[in-house]
Structures are given as structure tokens and as C-alpha cells.
Chain A
Amino acid sequence: MNVARSFPVFAITFAAAYAILYVASVEYNWALFTYHPALEEFGWFVEKPKEGPAMYWYGWLATSVLGALAIAGVASRLPAGWAQRVWPGLSWVVPVAVMLVFGYLLRGYFFR
């Protein structure tokens, strides 16, 4: 299968940017939309709980995907010389770091 020459840069940048945007979305609640499961209603951006809890997870995913697509799209148009400097390890180093950050942010559940 032929893959566009820019795809590796896109994929590596997407993995890193998405992970960073996701943890930022969770920490600062940058949800693109809110879901109210008890009412089965969606609302744009962050809404307070109505009846029952409000779910922001889907909105965090949407924010992260759109943001990472934009960043990776720009990165994949870098000149070839710059693109070759993108380290493939970013595709796992950043996600692993973000997972460790989540472990730290949620430590209160485990250490009481």
C-alpha cells in the first residue's frame, strides 16, 4: 500500500498533539460539547449538569481530535528537510507522559 510521504509526520504529530490536547481538555474542561445522559441531550461547549450528571468525555475527545488534526495537518506540510527531523519516538513518548500525568492527577482515588 502506498502512503503519502507526509503521512509519517502527520501520524507522529497527531499522536503527540492529540495526547497533549486531551490532557489539557480534561484539566481545563475544554469540551466541544456536553452530553446529559439522563435527558439524552447534547449541548455545545461546557454546560452545567441539568438532571443527573453531565458528561464531557465525548466533548474532550472531539476537541482533541479536531485540534490534533489541525496541528498534524500543518506539520505534514513542513518542508521535507524539517519533516525528517520529526522524531518517531514522539508518537509514544508524549502519550506515555500524558498517561503518567493522568496517574498523578487522579492519585486522590488511590491514596487516601
Chain B
Amino acid sequence: MIVVLLILHALLAVALLGAITHQTISVWLPARKATGSFVGRMRAVAPTSYANAIIVLYVATATIGAIIYPSYRLSIRIVLQQLELFTANGAFELKEHFVAVGLGMLPAYWYFWRQPPAGDYARTRAVLTAVLAFVVWWSFLVGHVLNNIRGFEI
């Protein structure tokens, strides 16, 4: 069951990573003219359309992560400590705190991205998106590395 949840956690994280990356790029590097290139189309997406999906995916990914977290504490973290993999251990500690802090930003993120985009809060919207993108990317990469170190041996 834990393996199924771990795979589901990873799949949701991939979807979240894609959504928040598209939104971040379209906010910080918007396309000034129509283009048919891959990068151009990525920059030209409608960022507002991603907001609700990002919130749902963030909460779902974090919830499943919280469910499988005890298995990590019992089976993985102890091994990381025994192997003296301090950087990997610390990176995961940061991941749990960054994700927790990101959860608290979601109501504000939702408000500033709601339809129609709230007032003239473009900077707030852009920075909130970038911070959440950083949290998601950090969490994804750390989770991926830890999975490579000790994944599925749970």
C-alpha cells in the first residue's frame, strides 16, 4: 500500500511541477507575440487557468506525503543517519518545512489568482507563484534523490 501511495505521490508531484512551472514561466517571461515554438507556447499559456489545479494538486500531494511520512521516519531516515548522509537528511528536513510554509500561502495565492485576477496585484501574484514554484521544485528534487537512495525499500 505504501508503495502505491509513494507512486501516486510522485505522479501528483509531476503534474504539480508541470502546472506551476508553466504558470511561473508565463508570469515571469510572458510571450510578447504569438509564436509556434515549444518555448513560445509555454510562455503564452493563460496562467490564471492553472491556479485552482495547482492548489488541488499541492494539497493532494502534501496529504499523501503526510500519509507516507511515518514510513520514511521509521525506515528511511534512520538509515540516512546511519550512513551519515547529512545533506540528504537535511534536504528532506527543509522539504517538510518548506511544504508546510507553502500550505499557509495557498489562501492568499488563491485570492490573488481568482477570476478576474484581483486588482492590480501583479507583483504579489508573481512572487507568490515563484515562491510556490521554488517549494515544489525543491520538494520534487529532494524526493527524487531520496527515492534513488532508499526508495521502495519500505
Residue positions of A touching B, CB distance < 8 A: 1, 3, 7-8, 10-12, 14-15, 18-19, 22-23, 26, 35, 37-38, 52-53, 55, 57-58, 60-61, 64-65, 68, 88-89, 91-92, 95-96, 98-99, 102-103, 106, 108-110, 112
Give the number of chain B interface residues (Cβ < 8 Å): 38
Q: Given A92-B128, A109-B86: A11 and B100 within 8 A (CB)?
A: no
A interface footprint on B56-75 (CB within 8 Å = 1, 0 otherwise): 00000000001001110110
Q: List 16 A-B residue pairs with CB atoms under 8 Å apart, sorted by A's residue number.
A: A3-B111, A15-B107, A22-B97, A22-B104, A37-B74, A53-B74, A57-B69, A57-B100, A64-B104, A65-B104, A88-B112, A92-B105, A92-B124, A95-B101, A96-B131, A108-B90
Residue among B66, B91, B104, B127 making CB contact with A14, cutoff 8 Å:
B104
Q: A88-B124, A98-B101 are in contact. Are A10 and B107 (CB under 8 A)?
A: yes
Q: Is B148 an interface residue (CB 8 A)?
A: no
CB pair A95–B104 under 8 Å, yes or no, is: yes
Kindly count the residue-residue contacts between A and B in the assembled complex, taking CB atoms under 8 Å apart: 107
Tell me how far the C-beta of B123 lies from the nearest C-beta in chain A, rounded to whole angstroms.
8
Please tell me if the beta carbons of B114 and A106 are within 8 angstroms of each other in the complex: no
Report the minimal beta-carbon distance from B93 to chain A, rounded to whole angstroms.
5
Cα distance A91–B45 in the bound complex, in angstroms = 25
Q: Choose one: A3, A14, A92; the contact of B131 (CB below 8 Å).
A: A92
